[in-house]
Amino acid sequence: MKAEYDLSSMKSRPNPYAARLKKPITMRLGEDVLNYFKEMASETGVPYQTLINLYLRDCMANKRTIDIRWD
């Protein structure tokens, strides 16, 4: 193996997965909701933000809707 490589002749190319990258957002969640996902995260070893994303993705895939009435 060489100690040093010349990469100046390499051509760059766009990331083919760029469209699938996650977008950072700010979201306000109830403390009880956040604690629920954090507890689940500690039990499963999956980060809580990933669990929230998986739950929302499941809702999207199953076209779940919610009926909110402010009567």
pLDDT: which is higher, 6 or 32:
32
- Contact by Cβ (8 Å): 40, 48: yes
Is the pTM higher than 0.75? The answer reads no
pLDDT per position as a tens digit, 29-42: 999 999 999 999 99
Residues in the chain: 71
